């Protein structure tokens, strides 16, 4: 049996739900094939992805429905702002719409 892992097996993903008023919450987490399904679903729905392995390694330890910890507010705020910018909108433009963001690291060696 080999100690080698495929890129899919090493994949991790975390999805955040952000309503524009409360702290973002963990809406999905997964590793391996589940992580790939989260990423595929995000891509299919034009949800911006962020490639940040360190952040995902921390967020994946949280429970579904947990709000992100205060110490991550600034990091997550930058990611959400970047996602708004990619979409060419402002928080005010989507105040009545729901926003979602997924963070995803590259596969680790």
- Kindly report the CATH number assigned to the domain that includes residue 28: 3.40.1690.10
Give the highest mean pLDDT range of 6-10, 80-84, 100-104.
80-84
104, pLDDT greater than 90 = no
Domain assignment present for residue 109? The answer is no
Q: Which of 34-48, 73-87, 92-106 has the lowest mean pLDDT?
A: 92-106
52, pLDDT greater than 60 = yes
Write down the pLDDT at residue 83.
87
Domain assignment present for residue 88? The answer is yes
98, pLDDT greater than 50 = no
Q: Report which of residues 54 and 93 the model is more confident about.
A: 54
How does residue 105 score in pLDDT terms, banded at 50, 70 and 90?
low
Domain assignment present for residue 34? The answer is yes
108, pLDDT greater than 50 = no
Contacts within 8 Å (CB) and 24+ apart, 51-57: 51/103, 51/104, 51/105, 51/106, 52/79, 52/103, 52/104, 52/105, 53/12, 53/105, 53/106, 53/108, 54/105, 55/103, 55/105, 56/12, 56/13, 56/14, 56/103, 56/104, 56/105, 57/12, 57/105
Q: What is the mean pLDDT of residues 23-33?
A: 95
Domain count within the chain = 1
Write down the pLDDT at residue 10.
76
Supply the range of the domain harboring residue 47: 7-103
């Amino acid at each position: 049996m080999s100690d080698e892992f495929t890129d899919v097996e090493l994949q991790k993903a975390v999805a955040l739900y952000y309503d524009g008023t409360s702290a973002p919450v963990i809406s999905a987490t997964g590793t391996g094939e589940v992580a790939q399904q989260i990423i595929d679903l995000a891509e299919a729905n034009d949800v911006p992805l962020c490639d940040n392995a360190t952040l995902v390694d921390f967020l994946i330890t949280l429970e579904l429905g947990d709000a992100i910890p205060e110490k991550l507010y600034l990091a997550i705020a930058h990611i959400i702002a970047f996602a708004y910018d990619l979409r060419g909108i402002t928080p005010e433009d989507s105040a009545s719409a729901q926003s979602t963001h997924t963070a995803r690291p590259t596969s680790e060696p």
